Every structure is written in structure tokens, then in C-alpha cells.
Amino acid sequence: MNIVTLTLNPALDKSAKVDGIIPEQKLKCHSIKYNPGGGGINISRVLNRLDVTTNCVFPFAGNCGALLNELLLKENIKPQSIPIKAWTRENLAVVDTQTKQQYRFGMPGNTLTKDEIAEIENTIEKILEPNDILVLSGGLAEEMPADYFAKLIRKFSHKNLKIVLDTSGPALKETLKEKVYLMKPNQRELALLAGKDFLSSSEQEEFALELIQSEKAKYVVVSLGARGAFIASKEGVFYQSTPSVSVNSTIGAGDSMVAGLIYSILNNYSPEIMLKWGVACGVAATMGEGTALAHKEDVHNIIRIL
């Protein structure tokens, strides 16, 4: 079974530390690290650490894009990257070593021409076989219509794919006009899908089950932040709390969770075990710094105590 992760708005993630953040002062950064970034790219990186091969598709350009490709190759991931005109963005995360607080700066994403979008779709079509997994993760490129993911699902509907969706905002709402296999909103995103600003715990369960019963999704996994997550399916609703660990960075925790869920799909795990793997991967990601993401040893250690 092929797994294709699509990242339309990738980034080169730079992380650094500063010994005290003070306004209007020249601050000396240290402990500089670079990592490939973007929803689908992060998912491919974590799955690779779990010994699962993926087809990592994304557009790239410029020095940041070239380094992004190089870093993926160093992780033994062969990128299916498509050259474009607009340069790949660079994001920055800075940790104040005195307060342990993390500051995250996201830069505007790239734009894609019609020809570049067509080339991305052609690349995906050459890879995909019937019943494969297509992962639509992260935000859309700048100026893309909110219904792009929905159009892409319709384009490949004849392949009977398992669509894994992890996006937000209008793109999430528009994509759910098509059926997906698994979706992973957070509490805020779930409430907005329901047309509300807030949902109680019981309302969250009810609405997630509505999505299942209306066949919008086979699995709905809702992340609850530090409290863990729950999964809704035809088998019911299951919760999984998180163990107490030292949190160094929350960047990529959601992407790592999605990777754990996909790993479970490949292994035909039950919804309850699927959720354990998702939470374990998400928690493991918080133990690293910057965008280090989840590592195999940490994931297995967490699985043992869940």
C-alpha cells in the first residue's frame, strides 16, 4: 500500500535559543538547528522512523527549498519534490532559556501557478494505486481556493483512496463536503465545524459521532491538548490520556500524532489501539526540541505505559 503525503505549504524550520528575550536589544542566538517542516513532510519523517516508507510530495524553490530536500535525504527520505518559482519559506522558533518559553514565528507561504499545481497532481497520480493512503496535511498554499483539497479528492475518487485529513479553517470545512477516511481536528476546529464557538465534552462526542454516522469520516480523532485525545468510530468513543513527560517543544506534535494513526491503519489496529499509537507519537514529539518530532524509542517507551 502506497502512502502519499502532500504538503502544499512546506517550510524550512529553524530553531534557536536565547538567554533572555529583551525588547530592543541585540540578542545572541545559539543552538541553531534546521529541520524540514510542513504537515505532510513531518508525517513522512515520523513514519520513516517507524520503518514505514512514504512518498513525500511537496513544492520547493530557492536556498531554503534546496536545504529542505537535502535534510530529508539525510533522514533517508527520498522526496518527491516539484520545483516552483516562489521560494520556500523559513519559519523560526526561539526558546528563552531563562523562562523556558517558546516563541514561534511563521512566515507567509509560497504561491503556486496553475502549471505547478498540475505538475503536483501529475506526480501524485503516477504514484497512487487503488486503496492507497493519501495524506492531506497542513495549510494550503497562498491564494489557493479553500475547496482545493475537496477538488483533489474528487479528482482521485476513482482510486477509492483512504484520505487522511489534517487541516484547519475554511479548508477543513470545504474538504468535508467529500468523504474522508480519518480526520484530526482539535477542540476549537471541531466546534467551528459544528457552527459554534465552544462544545462541551458531551457535545464533542455527539458531533464527532454525527460525522461518523453521516459518513463524512470513518474515524474522527480529536486532540485535547495536554489531556490527550479521543477517537470516534462506529465502534464507539474511546479516550486516551497523556503520561507526564518533560515538554520541550509542542511543534509537530499534531503531525506526529497523525503519523501514529496512519501506522495503526497499516497494521489494522482497533480504534482504541490506534488512539494509543497516535497519542504516544504526539507525546514523544514534545520531548524533543524545536521540530525534532517523535523518535521510535520514545514512542515505544510511551506505548508501554499507556
- Catalytically active residues, by annotation: 255
Q: For residue 89, give the amino acid letter.
A: R
Element (H, E) at 66: helix 62-74
In three-state secondary structure terms, 122 is helix
Question: Which residue do the cell numbers 521510535 mark?
Answer: 296
Candidates 39, 30, 31; CA nearest to 57 is 39
In three-state secondary structure terms, 255 is helix
**Other CB atoms closer than 10 Å to residue 194's CB: what's the count?**
17
**Half-sphere exposure of residue 40: CA atoms within 13 angstroms, side-chain side:** 27
Q: For residue 142, give the amino acid letter.
A: E
Candidates 112, 172, 116; CA nearest to 143 is 112
The dihedral of CA 40, 45, 46, 47: what is its sign? positive
Terminal alpha carbon distance of the chain: 28
The Cα–Cα gap between 152 and 131 comes to 15
What's the length of the chain?
Answer: 306
**Other CB atoms closer than 10 Å to residue 187's CB: what's the count?**
17
According to DSSP, residue 23 is labeled T
Contact 81, 55 (CB under 8 A): no
Residue 59 to residues 44, 273, 303, Cα–Cα distance (Å): 15, 34, 34
